[in-house]
């Protein structure tokens, strides 16, 4: 272990099992460790660095804003925050944006809006939020309660009450649960990222959206991981014929700086008023300037290219030795491998490719602008690793 690694082990809270790799520099989808070894980055900081490391356009936008005003608080207007909110609304048809700093906070905002909406419209007891088993919505005590995976809950009781979980793909269970509870909203991911890159079927999501309408409850879509071009559409719900009332997003939105957003649709646009919610850092001008430089480039032609590259990678994996199935949407790729996913990722590290796991899958979230030849170089290395005895 290097000296830096042992300092980190001694002083940084033990919550992460880090790989024995120290990354010191990079450009685009290629990064280098302290020994000069090159890696292809197929994780992009868990879907955060949408245009890779040190992207020129993003760096210019961020550093230009950094040299003007780095932070002013939400007591004053700043340009990047306003322009980003406008762009997000124009591109989605949503009406208002609340900015926070993370995915968990974006979901907290969606949950608060849903509870206040239901309390005002239906009565304070209409506070139940339904989420899916196997979901992941964050690490705060409320978003943990929303997360439908018991092992995250055990050590942190009591969690925020009012969350009920249902099984994905079971519309009958969803309908019963909506009716059995005083329900405010349904919250779900179109592709469960941490849950193993599990994509909801069209029949289920569109059926669930219909049930929300019929029962006058809100549909919240957690686009923290799937949003901002990741799946080849601007937001993953756009692959389906559904209109969410609330969209939470973060991860790739800021391109590498902390930024989360809760997008509010027509029905809920006026739910929050002065003093109902807030965030000291939320809408920070530097983070928003970076996000603007990302969002402005996610046009239809760019997203079509994301889909085309993803298709090529998916086709190359399909049927390869040691790969049992390929799942996910766009550049959110899950691989069910014959060998344990953790072993595949470890071996890929040795061979110069950084990958992620999600449950029992190998998970790939490369930068959206990864050049096709670099992507396919990584694909070939991953295939070699999967095929090794
Ligand atoms: C990562 C993630 C979160 C939590 O985001 P943080 O920024 O870590 O708080 C919430 N929901 C989904 C779907 C995620 O993938």
Q: Residues 101-148: pLDDT tens digits?
A: 999 999 999 999 999 999 999 999 999 999 999 999 999 999 999 999
**Structure tokens, 356:** 């992620």
Q: What are the residue ranges in the chain where pLDDT is below 70?
A: none
Over the stretch 201-242, which tens digit does the pLDDT of each residue have?
Answer: 999 999 999 999 999 999 999 999 999 999 999 999 999 999
CA distance 196 to 193: 6
Site of tokens 């949503």: 94
Could you identify the atom of ligand 1 that is nearest to the CA of residue 140?
Answer: 9
For atom 15 of ligand 1, which residue has the closest CA? 225
How far, in Å, is the centroid of ligand 1 from the Cα of 240? 21
Could you identify the atom of ligand 1 that is nearest to the CA of residue 102?
Answer: 7
Mutate to test the pocket of ligand 1, among 46, 99, 104, 365 (most ligand atoms within 8 A of CB): 104
> Is residue 132 classed as helix, strand or coil in its secondary structure?
strand
For atom 11 of ligand 1, which residue has the closest CA? 137
pLDDT at 389: 87
pLDDT at 360: 98
Could you identify the atom of ligand 1 that is nearest to the CA of residue 138?
Answer: 4
**Structure tokens, 132:** 């899916």
Nearest to 166 by CA among 151, 176, 157, 152: 176
Mutate to test the pocket of ligand 1, among 101, 194, 328 (most ligand atoms within 8 A of CB): 194
Could you identify the atom of ligand 1 that is nearest to the CA of residue 139?
Answer: 9
CA distance 283 to 266: 21
| Cβ atoms of residues 352 and 38 within 8 Å | yes
How far, in Å, is the centroid of ligand 1 from the Cα of 80? 23
Which residues line the pocket of ligand 1, CB cutoff 6 A? 102-104, 107, 136-138, 189, 193-194, 222, 224-225, 250-251
How far, in Å, is the centroid of ligand 1 from the Cα of 388? 33
| Cβ atoms of residues 28 and 377 within 8 Å | no
Could you identify the atom of ligand 1 that is nearest to the CA of residue 194?
Answer: 15
pLDDT at 382: 98
- Helix H or strand E encompassing 334: strand 332-337
pLDDT at 219: 99
Nearest to 222 by CA among 112, 130, 115, 106: 106
Nearest to 168 by CA among 196, 188, 151: 188
Peptide bond into 158 cis (omega under 30): yes
**Structure tokens, 126:** 């209409």
How far, in Å, is the centroid of ligand 1 from the Cα of 64? 28
């Amino acid at each position: 272990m290097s000296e830096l690694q042992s300092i980190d082990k001694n002083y940084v809270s033990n919550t992460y099992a880090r790989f024995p790799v120290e990354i010191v520099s990079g450009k685009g989808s290629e990064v280098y460790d302290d020994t000069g070894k090159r890696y292809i980055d197929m994780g992009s900081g868990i879907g955060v660095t949408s245009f890779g490391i040190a992207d020129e356009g993003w760096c210019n936008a961020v550093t230009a804003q950094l040299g003007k005003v780095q932070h002013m608080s939400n007591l004053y207007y700043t340009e990047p925050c306003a322009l980003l909110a406008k762009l997000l609304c124009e591109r989605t048809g949503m009406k208002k944006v609340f900015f926070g700093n993370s995915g968990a906070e974006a979901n907290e905002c969606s949950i608060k809006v849903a509870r206040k909406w239901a309390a005002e419209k239906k009565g304070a007891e209409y506070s139940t939020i339904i989420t899916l088993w196997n979901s992941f919505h964050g690490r705060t005590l409320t978003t943990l309660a929303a997360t439908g995976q018991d092992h995250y809950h055990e050590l942190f009781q009591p969690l925020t009450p009012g969350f009920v979980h249902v099984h994905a793909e079971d519309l009958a269970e969803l309908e019963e649960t909506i009716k059995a509870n005083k329900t405010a909203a349904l919250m779900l991911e179109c592709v469960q990222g941490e849950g193993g890159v599990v994509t909801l079927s069209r029949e289920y999501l569109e059926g669930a959206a219909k049930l929300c309408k019929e029962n006058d409850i809100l549909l919240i879509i957690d686009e923290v991981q799937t949003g901002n071009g990741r799946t080849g559409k601007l937001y993953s719900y756009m692959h389906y014929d559904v209109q969410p009332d609330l969209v939470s997003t973060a991860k790739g939105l800021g391109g590498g700086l902390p930024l989360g957003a809760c997008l509010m649709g027509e029905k809920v646009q006026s739910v929050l008023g002065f003093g109902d919610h807030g965030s000291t850092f939320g809408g920070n001008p530097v983070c928003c300037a970076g996000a603007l430089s990302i969002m402005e480039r996610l046009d239809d032609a760019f997203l079509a290219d994301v889909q085309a590259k993803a298709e090529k990678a998916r086709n190359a994996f399909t049927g390869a030795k040691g790969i049992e199935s390929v799942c996910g949407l766009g550049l959110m790729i899950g691989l069910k491998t014959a060998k344990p996913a953790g072993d595949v990722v470890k071996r890929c590290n040795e061979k110069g490719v950084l990958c992620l796991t999600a449950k029992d899958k190998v998970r790939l979230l490369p930068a959206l602008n990864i050049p096709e030849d670099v992507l396919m170089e990584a694909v070939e290395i991953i295939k070699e690793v999967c095929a090794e005895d």
